[in-house]
Chain A
Amino acid sequence: MSGLLVISEHRQGELTPASLECITAARRLKTEKNQSLMVAVLASDPDQYSAQLNLDGVDEIIRINTPEDEFQVDTHEAAIGALISERQPTVILVPHSVDAWSYAPVIAMRGNYGFATDVFGISYEGDELVATRAAYAEKIHMELDFPNKNTVLLTVRGNTFKPAEGSGNAEMTDFDLPEFEMHTQHVEFIEPEAGGDVDITQAEYMLSIGRGIAAEDNVEEFLELADSMGFTVGCSRPIADSGWLPKSRQVGQSGKTVADCNVYIAMGISGSVQHMAGMKHVPNIIAVNKDPEASIFSIARYGVVADLFEIADELRNNFA
């Protein structure tokens, strides 16, 4: 029972940053417990990715040749399950991505491994592994341990650890895909609808609205307010799901990341982890929310605890 295993992930021909972040997280555990660090890559041509995974601290890159290049849940479960059985790592780290949401709970359950999702803190207390994650809309942190588990699988929250870098000296090995049955078939990827009226990923100033605006009739006044301020309107998921604004305006994990944004005003957005994934990097976040405990305040530079309509009315006068 030894070693740390990272399962890397790629989408449409590109390794995801989250894969490299998992390597950083694993490297910290490696330093602490002096274990070897393995990184597995599943792909139709693993060498397309293996060199990029040869980063400082990685001891072995395990190439698993798969029939398809895109994620396939049955392939992943069969290959990773068999790999864990053979190598018996103590800790397995995978990105907390939509793909992992499909396969990680299955591998953990089948193998009876310790398991926790969306983890952003990983440490040892003595010999005991402790994982930290959030609950109740980020308002509480929960620390989990894994009694009597020799192997623990964790899915790691994105943007928590810096992506690994520095060239490594890893040994390249191959692992054969075991026999398994396919129960799902990839048909195609469906690209998001092109930008709509605006491309929020390029906006410098964003005013985003969330559930707090309460009714579709209220959307218009925020569009007008943003316009008078020179801001672009974005939104959180419930607004797009309700069809009050087009999906192209949605900020967050399943929407867009506002890469070029400098000032982000969040009005009536409590701050789910999925929303924050798309905007928490913004240097100047201003949160307006009536709930002083809203998690958006934990990442904001400026906070206003107030009725957002009152604030909007005042801003309208100030920017008239």
Chain B
Amino acid sequence: MKILVPVKQIAALDEDFELLDDGTGVDPDYLDYELNEWDDYSYEEALRIMEANDGENVEVVPVTVGPEEADDALRRCLAKGGERGIRVWDDAIEGSDPSAIARILAKVIEREQPDVVFAGTLSSDHAFAQTGMNIAAVLGWPHAAVVNHLELNPGDTKATVHRELEGGLEEKMTIDLPAVLAIQLGINEPRYASLRGIKQAKRKEIEVLSHVDIGLADDDVGVAGSLSRVRRMVMPEKGQAEIIEGTSAEKAARLTEIIKELQGVA
């Protein structure tokens, strides 16, 4: 059994970030990169299935779309398990929206022929929450989003999943395999990588492919291959919050007054 896990190196903002002058994005000097939080959970879920089956018969492969720095995201995964990763990138991919990224990932999936794909429900930077289901659309595979419980064993033709709905409600359902599942936070408790694992991951193989290598044309990727385009990014207007200033004691004293007044006990 093979489980393919698309992961993303996400950008987090520094405290004092600035936008690019042309308004198309954030000045990269103010970005820190890390593995998307959701992908930590989807990768963990794959590792658990691998370990529950002795690791002999189950292969877990992380794949990402991104420039060389995105190798970090793959190695963070490989530090916890798995033997190889795949990264797709070239200049034409720049400007791709999640749908174009999904088209790339779908091609990798066609090459790798996994039995199931675990995507993160969303990424914490742009939060589109669409890539996993876009992949399923390209492949024509069954799919479920916001999965917070999974029962799946090698050789199964169906998986049982819970979808986390609004207000604490869940839906239990079965889904035919192969399938793309978008995994939600809280489905498991991701492990920390061991120092030994981190060291070993540095030597694990990362296959680097271009969009041409996987059989895509130039206009399948980038802005041409996308369903949306970023027109500009803007800073939202600041809220109307009254910011309470002073030392911690002064701030707390003022807060106490406000709270007591609101409680009608002042």
A residues contacting B by CB (< 8 A) are 11, 70-71, 73, 97-99, 101-110, 112-118, 130-131, 134-147, 149, 183-193, 205, 229-230, 237-238, 240-242, 247-248, 250, 253-257, 262-263, 265, 273, 284, 286-288, 291-293, 297-307, 310-311, 313-315, 318-319
Contact = CB atoms under 8 A, between A and B. Distances in A.
A98 B259 contact: no
Interface string B213-250: 00000000001000111111111101111111000110
A286 B255 contact: yes
Interface string B97-123: 011001000000000000000000100
Interface in B152-171: 160, 162-171
Interface centre among B130, B132, B176 (most CB of A within 10 A): B130
Q: Lowest 5 CB-CB distances: which A-B pairs, in order?
A: A192-B168, A314-B252, A183-B142, A109-B137, A298-B239
Interface centre among A116, A142, A263 (most CB of B within 10 A): A142
Contacts, number: 263
Interface stretch (B67-75, B76-84, B85-93, B143-151): B143-151
B185 to A, nearest CB: 6
Contacts of B175: 183-185
B208 interface: no
Contacts of B253: 314, 318
Interface of B: 11-13, 15, 17, 19, 26, 98-99, 102, 121, 124-134, 136-138, 142-146, 160, 162-176, 179, 182, 185-186, 189, 223, 227-236, 238-244, 248-249, 251-253, 255-256, 258-259, 262-263
12 contacts: A102-B143, A105-B129, A113-B227, A131-B228, A140-B233, A146-B229, A187-B171, A190-B162, A238-B185, A253-B166, A256-B168, A306-B251
B230 A142 contact: yes
Contacts of A183: 142, 175-176, 179
B28 to A, nearest CB: 13
B229 A98 contact: no
Nearest to B159: A184
Given A149-B227, A263-B259, A302-B258, A101 B146 contact: yes
Q: Helix, strand, loop or mixed for chain A's interface? A: mixed
Q: Helix, strand, loop or mixed for chain B's interface? A: mixed
